[in-house]
Amino acid sequence: MLVRSCTIDYTFLWNRFLSNESWVEMRTLYDVQQLLKKFGIIVYIGDRLADLELMELELRQLYQARVLENREYETALLIIRQEKRLEKEKKIEGERNG
């Protein structure tokens, strides 16, 4: 049985990983919209919560079609879910005050 020792240049791999991944740049809903736009997907229904739901569905379909990488999908999904939570909180707050 032959056992090989292998050294890996993790710095090289990490830098390559960061330079190739668009999820690193995704921080806002606008960034997620730009990602969807790359695939010809523009979402506007008029209801912000419905827009977010549809964006999540579109992302899921892109991921299932293996067009998006796992990290890219997860990052975009987290951003959308955070926006949905904030939108629901605003809606509840508006109902309390108004």
Compute CA distances 49 → 43, 52, 55, 81, 87, whole Å. 11, 5, 10, 10, 7
Please tell me whether residue 44 adopts helix, strand or coil conformation. coil
Amino acid sitting at position 63: Y
> Locate tokens 């629901």: which residue?
88
DSSP state of 68: S
Per residue of the chain (98 residues), give pLDDT as tens.
444 444 545 554 445 455 555 455 899 999 999 999 999 999 999 999 999 999 999 999 999 999 999 999 999 999 999 999 999 999 999 888 86
Q: Which domains are delineated in the chain?
A: 29-97 (1.10.287.760)
How far apart CA 21 and CA 43 sit, in angstroms, is: 23
